[in-house]
Amino acid sequence: MNEETYKICNRCIMDTSDPFITFDETGCCNQCTEALAAMKNQWFPNEEGTKYLNNIVEKIKREGKKNDYDCIIGLSGGIDSSYLVYLAVKMGLRPLVVHVDCGWNSELAVKNIENIVKLLNLELHTHVVNWEEMKDLQIAYLKSNIANQDVPQDHAIFAALYNYAAKNNVKYVFTGSNFATESILPTAWGYNALDYKNLKSIHDIYGRIKLKTFPHVTFFDRYIYYVFIKKMTVIKPLNYLKYDKEGAMKILTDELGWRYYGGKHHESRFTKFFQAYYLPTKFGYDKRRAHLSSLIVSGQIDRNRAIEIMKSEVFQSNELNDDIEYVAKKLDMTTQELFDIIQQPNKSYKDFPSNEWFFKFGLNLREKIRKK
């Protein structure tokens, strides 16, 4: 990056690696300014949040008392989903716990999942995505040279979760997505993982086999079928309490034998490779900036500490080479073949057909309904 044009926010640590970032007269960026403005409408770490969460939990219990499960949670073994399962059980809910195995689980993630379901006395439902299809789609995304390489995993996880909910007549979908740790994420760094048209367009060009069983969800499914026909409601419980990342990790560690895996979403071997190597190397995007800036906004870390963390290496000793070799081998290619793909010119999701306009319309409509 050109040092003459480089700039970093005076309040968080977002910088000009976000091509759309702007700064006000005080040197504060639009990312943290917008996050702070949105906080009062999206995060309720107070009595108001506690009251709402208690009310919705009681409603879920009443409506689901005749069913085997009253809500559904996708468990990855990461911090947010693990704590969400713990919280649901503590609130007296009976969650249908689903793990979607996309073929990239780290050993720590698997062990975390085993400990959680065992110690909380839960039954785990695992959906294993067809690896040949997953592999073909993952390679297609690499060949597309776009930023968000995690779309294949994210799409499969959300789609499978909705499908399990529908099959089991579960109307409340709990997600670990939360404002406290995820309020900042530049739009330039990724794109909506639920846009099946975009996903299919990329696979149609670069894929080699048909996706016969790959879990998918269309725009119609997401905004019409599941919402109005199946009457599903997506709830973010962590937005209605004082969710503290370090505190959650301590509870999970002390009570469930949970172990940290080194970084946000690094419970997936591919996600670690993608976030810690692919994005910074190919696009100059380091997602730690967004993750740490989100924690600054929510008051969980100060700016100086965040800057120090950014100076540390994500990979230890020879870990980077091991991860690159692992990903290449898993995808049936040599490391040189993987490097050759990464070195191709960068592209944007906008270079492929998508339903972006429809998703923006759906999000705007949902926001208007929420405010009303």
Residue at 210 is within a domain: yes
**Mean pLDDT, residues 66-75 taken together:** 96
3-state secondary structure of 355: coil
Assess whether pLDDT exceeds 90 at residue 223.
no
**Mean pLDDT, residues 294-314 taken together:** 94
Please give the tally of structural domains in the chain.
1
**Mean pLDDT, residues 236-253 taken together:** 96
What pLDDT, on the 0 to 100 scale, is given for residue 263?
A: 54
> How far is CA 92 from its chain centroid?
26
**Mean pLDDT, residues 91-101 taken together:** 97
Residue at 64 is within a domain: yes
Residue at 9 is within a domain: no
Residue at 14 is within a domain: no
What pLDDT, on the 0 to 100 scale, is given for residue 370?
A: 58
Residue 219 in contact with residue 358, Cβ under 8 Å? yes
C-alpha to C-alpha distance for 350 and 348, rounded to whole angstroms: 5
What pLDDT, on the 0 to 100 scale, is given for residue 312?
A: 87
Reported as half-sphere exposure (CB side, CA atoms, 13 A), residue 267 has a value of 24
Say which residue, 322 or 30, is predicted with more confidence: 30
Q: Which range, of 4-8, 225-229, 302-306, averages the lowest pLDDT?
A: 4-8
Q: Which residues contact 297 (CB under 8 A, 6 or more apart)?
A: 12, 32, 35, 36, 39, 183, 184
- DSSP state string for 94-141: -EEEEEEE-S-B-HHHHHHHHHHHHHTT--EEEEE--HHHHHHHHHHH
Residue 171 in contact with residue 56, Cβ under 8 Å? no
- Of the pLDDT bands very low, low, confident and very high (cuts 50, 70, 90), residue 95 is very high
Assess whether pLDDT exceeds 60 at residue 60.
yes
Average pLDDT, the chain: 93
Residue at 22 is within a domain: no
**Length of the chain as a residue count:** 372
Could you tell me which of 80, 306, 265 has the C-alpha nearest to residue 275? 265
Q: What amino acid occupies position 164?
A: Y
Domain that holds residue 119: 30-371
Q: Which range, of 2-16, 172-186, 228-242, 272-286, averages the lowest pLDDT?
A: 2-16
Say which residue, 160 or 367, is predicted with more confidence: 160
- Of the pLDDT bands very low, low, confident and very high (cuts 50, 70, 90), residue 368 is low
Judged by phi (left if over 0) then psi (alpha if -120 to 50, else beta), residue 92 lies in left
Assess whether pLDDT exceeds 70 at residue 322.
yes
C-alpha to C-alpha distance for 112 and 262, rounded to whole angstroms: 14
Residue at 3 is within a domain: no
The CA-atom distances, in angstroms, between 161 and each of 57, 108, 265, 284 are 20, 22, 18, 32
C-alpha to C-alpha distance for 113 and 77, rounded to whole angstroms: 5
- Of the pLDDT bands very low, low, confident and very high (cuts 50, 70, 90), residue 320 is confident
Q: Tell me the Cα Rg of the chain.
A: 20
C-alpha to C-alpha distance for 9 and 7, rounded to whole angstroms: 7
Residue at 349 is within a domain: yes
Assess whether pLDDT exceeds 70 at residue 9.
yes
Residue 211 in contact with residue 163, Cβ under 8 Å? no
Could you tell me which of 81, 77, 136 has the C-alpha nearest to residue 110? 77
Structure token pair of residue 215: 């879990």
**Mean pLDDT, residues 92-107 taken together:** 95
- For the segment 142-155, what is each residue's pLDDT rounded down to a tens digit? 999 999 999 999 99
3-state secondary structure of 63: helix
Residue at 13 is within a domain: no
C-alpha to C-alpha distance for 94 and 69, rounded to whole angstroms: 5
Q: Which range, of 46-50, 83-87, 203-207, 258-262, averages the lowest pLDDT?
A: 258-262
- For the segment 247-303, what is each residue's pLDDT rounded down to a tens digit? 999 999 999 999 987 655 567 899 999 998 999 999 999 999 999 999 999 999 999
Assess whether pLDDT exceeds 70 at residue 317.
no
- For the segment 199-212, what is each residue's pLDDT rounded down to a tens digit? 999 999 999 999 99
